[in-house]
Amino acid sequence: MRRCLSATSQLSSRALRRSFASSTALARSDDDAAWHAAQACRLVLVSTDPAEKAAALGVELGEDLEQVAVRSHAALNVSGAPSQVLDTAPARPEKPELVYGPFQRGNHSLPQYLLHSLAHIELNAVDIYAHTVAAWGPGGPKHEAGGGSALPPQLWLDLARVAQDEARHYFMLERRMRAIGSFYGAMPAHRALWSHAEDTNNDLMGRLAVIPMVQEAHALDSGPRIDERLRSCNDHASADVVAQIVQEEVDHVSVGLRCFQTASAAQGLDPVEAFHGRVRQYVPRLLPGPFNEALRSLAGMGPEYYKPLQSPPRRHPDKPRQRKQPKQPRRKPDAADA
C-alpha cells in the first residue's frame, strides 16, 4: 500500500509541474477555487515526501491558492485520489520512526530536539488540515451529509491556506535543523498526533474544536516558552524562526474559530457551549494552562472558551522541579520525649 501511494505521489508531483506550466486559466469564483483546493488537499494525503506535500499545495512553487486550484484540476485525473485515502493514515516518509510515549533525547542537542518536535507537529498539521478540507470541503464525501456545506467556500479556502502555512512552517524548521547539524527523521517522533484526526474522523465540529481551537491555541501558550528555551541555549536564529511561526499561528486559531462559530450557527448552537461539549468528549484531560491570553485574544478567542476547561495544574512548566529533601534517619525515642 505504501509503495503504491509513493509511486502515485511521484507521478502526481511530476504531473503537477507539467500541468502548472501549461495552465493559463484561472479559477473564476470562490466555489471553483474551494473545490479545486480540496482536490489539491487529496494530493497532499497521497504524497509521501514533505516536499511533495508542499508542492501539492503550491508552497514549493511559491504559488497562491488560486494557482494551486487551477493545476490541481489537471492533477486530479492523474492521481485518481481514491476515496479510501480519507480513511487511512496519510502517506509519510519512512523516517522518523513513530512511537507512543516519551523517548530519550540521546546525543541530540536541546535545539535539535525542539526543532524536530516542532517540525513533526507542523507536518501533522499539513496532513490534518488537508484531510479536513478534502473530506468535508466542496466535492468531498462528507460535504453534504457530514455538515461541510455549512461553511462557505471562503472558509474552506482559508483552511486550505492554513495547510499551506503549515507546509511553509515545516520547511522553515527543516532548513534551521540542517543549519544546526540535524534533519527531519534524525530521531523518533510521536505517533499520537494523528490520533486527533482519527478521533474526529466523523465529526467536523469535533475536528475544528480539537485542532485549531485546542491544539493550535495551545501552541500560542507554549510557543513563547520554547522561544525562551532556545534563547537560553544561545540559539537565537532558531528562536527567531519559532517566534515568527507563533505569530502566524494566531491566524490559524482565528480561522478555526470562525469555522466553528459558522458551523454552530448553522445548527442553532451556542458556540461556547458547543466547544465545551466537544472538548469534554475528545480531550478528557482538558486544557493545561497557563494560557497566553494576549495571543488568544488576538485570535478572537475570549476566555469564556477556554478558562472553564482549565485542568488542575500539575507543575508550572517554567518552574524548576523541586528536589526532595533527603529523609532524616529516625531517632529512637528516649525518656526525654515521653
Q: Are 177 and 183 in contact (CB under 8 A)?
A: yes
Q: Report the C-alpha gap between 155 and 34 in whole angstroms.
A: 9
Q: Report the C-alpha gap between 15 and 277 in whole angstroms.
A: 44
Using only C-alpha atoms, what is the Rg of the chain?
A: 22
Binding site for Fe ion (CB under 5 A): 122, 166, 169, 216, 249, 252
Beta carbon of residue 54, minimum distance to Fe ion (angstroms, whole number): 13
Q: Which helix (H) or strand (E) holds 179?
A: helix 153-179
Q: Which is nearer to Fe ion, 5 or 177 (CB)?
A: 177
Beta carbon of residue 166, minimum distance to Fe ion (angstroms, whole number): 5
Q: Which is nearer to Fe ion, 81 or 211 (CB)?
A: 211
Alpha-carbon distances of 179 from 81, 113, 175, rounded to whole Å: 36, 14, 6
Tell me which DSSP letter residue 310 carries.
B
Q: Which is nearer to Fe ion, 32 or 122 (CB)?
A: 122
Beta carbon of residue 167, minimum distance to Fe ion (angstroms, whole number): 9
Burial of 331 from C-beta contacts in 10 A (0-12 / 13-18 / 19+): exposed
- Residue corresponding to grid cell 485570535: 299
Beta carbon of residue 169, minimum distance to Fe ion (angstroms, whole number): 4
Q: Which is nearer to Fe ion, 74 or 243 (CB)?
A: 243
Q: Which is nearer to Fe ion, 126 or 135 (CB)?
A: 126
Beta carbon of residue 325, minimum distance to Fe ion (angstroms, whole number): 43
Beta carbon of residue 230, minimum distance to Fe ion (angstroms, whole number): 16
Q: Which is nearer to Fe ion, 247 or 267 (CB)?
A: 247
Strand 189-190, strand 98-99: pairing:
parallel
